[in-house]
Chains A and B, each alone.
Chain A
């Protein structure tokens, strides 16, 4: 089958404004959108810039906006789009465009880092040669968080990050915080809650659920954000 893709093009160093190019590629119905992009770069236009690596939704490289929705190009099959319409491919929102579909994720990774207390990551004491004991229930408490692949789709889809409070630490960073806050082995929970309980921290979230809707790993992000808010209320505010 033939697939048409309309792709956002922009090189901020040479272009005054972005434009769109349309490409047609031959594909199998089960091809991924990423396969189409590869065919374009390999066979039609070597200048097309986008990131990719594992091509099966684990590395998190190929986050982009597909028909208006943040997604991984390697998780979307062409057969799932209307056959007679162009597929619209744009960079992830929120982040600055470096070129075409490549955005600058440095601020994203800085925020992932910002959820950790400056002193480091402190686990509770354990004897040198044995593991911490952790029950299956305790381990299950943060099992959803560790599915995160840091692709940035949630941040790009978040209306708060998009405009209301661009400095909001963002859904992915709160998931990262949640992973440590709800891990029974971690000893610096209060510090982590304090970091979340700051301007542009977890309270900037207004529960739009956009992050949860787009998450390529189906993480219940909004639910975890609410749990962090509740934990702040019970453990921090209560103690004050």
Chain B
């Protein structure tokens, strides 16, 4: 079935819905989601959304910009960080005007709390910059956007899996996929396409990300020949619930929670004397794993404790009720009484599809705009988070750059004609699915996926080195070959989740390779990318963005410079 719209947005999280709401003022917009739209993973965001409102104490966008640049270990493009920090307060107020129920302070204004790496006066001490709604900030923002999109007539197509971008006349002109419930091919023909499909944490064994976070948007662009930028920078959040990986928000430490090792020591004092437990995530994740490696885990095991017991039941209920309920449900622990076992969990991709400041996808990763294609949110790399994202900067990224993309899509739609639909769009979808359905191979999806996750977790996560990365790449290559022999046990069309699993695994394997390959190339340590064999940051050789593209001759590597404006790279201590 062929649908025609001015713009099609793939992904119904906060970036997608923000862009949809903006573009729908003048355009006919469809939002596509592979799960029901209100299930998008933005809804899992807990702790807050940053904006220098100054509701609690003095704050300035310049301080926010500085923290973002330093937090990103100077790989952040500073012109972009400036946009984020400057536009954040107005976007925040707009969200409030849409009805987002932010928590309030005693003056009736939006309440703000501390968060990792956010400081006053260029690093002096923590500042209250994170606006929030208890620990369900993402959920309430997404709900408000969803309500407005529904009421304003944005058309939402739930449970549609997109398998390819459509191109003609040198531009992107839609997407093709199929309806999960029936297997029926679906073609969306449009002047503009926005990819806002979120992250790909499921490449790793332990992650805070949803099962749906399989990097489909990254893969759509990568398969279309667009390079991926800075894929080596993967954030591991320091406080995932041990083994499960479910997130315990940084807000827990913002409200006074303390990390303790097996000796009961508040060990962050040794790693970040000024910010301690509110240091950026990359630093805390390394600290936790160092404590564990040096036998100071809890009872010699592979986790540490996050202690919230001194905060009291009332504060936990008011400010951290989701987190305390997770801990109760899954561990049977009352956080007001006992510490929570935590360890780093894969949480966020700093890298992604290269875009400019209005969301245009860059065909060469540098400055060549690919007409009709936009990206925003976690799958995009506008390079605002650099080598390490600060907590609460992702939600503000979604609304700042989601709105910018939506605005430019409206302009583009008004100025351009609809390219013709390429012939054979429908058959391409059918072939992709048919190939998997008819395969006589006997490799199992779950087996290959488990091996990929194990490899990436053991050899390409917080600490990396050349031998391990080479081995990981070799293993991923082997898994890719085995993937070509994958066989499905169910061949039906209706609700074939096994087919979806297979398509997602194909996407993840390519991205796993891109992550490991970028990590092997980067011979320095910066932000979330730490090389045991190159433990120092090396600005002379590596103050640049990695670009990896798929070509018929294999992966092609390129680099582009980092935009440095106000803040010259300096040693990064907290």
The answer to whether A41 touches B498, judged by C-beta atoms less than 8 angstroms apart, is yes
Chain B 28-64 interface residues, beta-carbon cutoff 8 Å to A: 35-36, 38-41, 43-44
- Residue in B105, B107, B494 whose CB lies within 8 Å of A99: B494
Judge if B542 is at the interface, Cβ distance under 8 Å.
no
Judge if A67 is at the interface, Cβ distance under 8 Å.
no
Residues of chain A within 8 A (CB-CB) of B150 are 112-113, 116
Stretch at the interface among A120-128, A163-171, A189-197, A220-228: A120-128
The answer to whether B99 touches A183, judged by C-beta atoms less than 8 angstroms apart, is yes
With A55-B210, A185-B99 as contacts: A46 and B490 at CB distance below 8 Å:
yes
Binding site for A on B (CB under 8 A): 35-36, 38-41, 43-44, 90, 93, 96-99, 101-110, 133-134, 136, 139-140, 143, 147-148, 150-152, 158, 181, 210-212, 244, 246, 322, 325-326, 329-331, 444-446, 488-490, 492, 494-498, 501
The answer to whether A46 touches B488, judged by C-beta atoms less than 8 angstroms apart, is yes
Q: Chain A interface secondary structure, helix, strand, loop or mixed?
A: loop
**Could you say which interface size class chain A belongs to?**
35 or more
In the complex, the chain B residue whose C-beta lies closest to that of A136 is B104
Residues of chain B within 8 A (CB-CB) of A100 are 495
Residues of chain A within 8 A (CB-CB) of B496 are 47
The answer to whether B497 touches A123, judged by C-beta atoms less than 8 angstroms apart, is no
A46-B498, A138-B104 are known; give 14 further A-B pairs, CB within 8 A: A43-B446, A47-B490, A47-B498, A53-B210, A55-B210, A57-B325, A58-B136, A98-B495, A100-B495, A134-B104, A136-B104, A136-B105, A150-B38, A186-B99
Judge if A17 is at the interface, Cβ distance under 8 Å.
no
Judge if A206 is at the interface, Cβ distance under 8 Å.
no
Number of A-B contacts (CB under 8 A): 159
- Residue in A11, A13, A55, A99 whose CB lies within 8 Å of B211: A55
Residues of chain A within 8 A (CB-CB) of B136 are 58, 146-147
The answer to whether B99 touches A131, judged by C-beta atoms less than 8 angstroms apart, is no
Residues of chain B within 8 A (CB-CB) of A105 are 36
Complex Cα spacing A150 to B140, Å: 12
The answer to whether B108 touches A135, judged by C-beta atoms less than 8 angstroms apart, is yes
Cβ of B140 to closest chain A Cβ, rounded Å: 5
Judge if A102 is at the interface, Cβ distance under 8 Å.
yes
The answer to whether B41 touches A53, judged by C-beta atoms less than 8 angstroms apart, is yes
Give the most central of A58, A106, A126, A186: most B CB within 10 Å. Answer: A58
Residues of chain A within 8 A (CB-CB) of B104 are 134-136, 138-139
The answer to whether B107 touches A45, judged by C-beta atoms less than 8 angstroms apart, is no
Residues of chain B within 8 A (CB-CB) of A142 are 101
Binding site for B on A (CB under 8 A): 11, 13, 30, 32, 41-43, 45-61, 75, 77, 98-100, 102, 105-106, 109, 112-113, 116, 120-121, 123, 126, 128-136, 138-139, 142-143, 146-147, 149-150, 179-180, 183, 185-186, 218
With A54-B41, A58-B322, A134-B104 as contacts: A75 and B93 at CB distance below 8 Å:
no
Residues of chain A within 8 A (CB-CB) of B105 are 136
Residues of chain B within 8 A (CB-CB) of A186 are 99
In the complex, the chain B residue whose C-beta lies closest to that of A186 is B99
The answer to whether B151 touches A121, judged by C-beta atoms less than 8 angstroms apart, is yes
The answer to whether B39 touches A59, judged by C-beta atoms less than 8 angstroms apart, is yes
The answer to whether B101 touches A149, judged by C-beta atoms less than 8 angstroms apart, is no
22 intermolecular pairs with C-beta atoms under 8 Å apart: A30-B330, A41-B497, A43-B444, A47-B489, A53-B41, A53-B210, A56-B246, A75-B329, A109-B158, A123-B97, A123-B98, A126-B97, A128-B93, A132-B96, A134-B108, A136-B104, A139-B101, A146-B101, A147-B136, A183-B99, A185-B99, A218-B325
Complex Cα spacing A109 to B150, Å: 10
Complex Cα spacing A133 to B40, Å: 30
In the complex, the chain A residue whose C-beta lies closest to that of B488 is A46
The answer to whether A53 touches B101, judged by C-beta atoms less than 8 angstroms apart, is no
Residues of chain B within 8 A (CB-CB) of A147 are 136
Cβ of B134 to closest chain A Cβ, rounded Å: 8
In the complex, the chain A residue whose C-beta lies closest to that of B40 is A59
Complex Cα spacing A109 to B158, Å: 11
In the complex, the chain A residue whose C-beta lies closest to that of B101 is A146
The answer to whether B489 touches A183, judged by C-beta atoms less than 8 angstroms apart, is no
Cβ of A206 to closest chain B Cβ, rounded Å: 28
Complex Cα spacing A147 to B43, Å: 11
The answer to whether A131 touches B39, judged by C-beta atoms less than 8 angstroms apart, is no
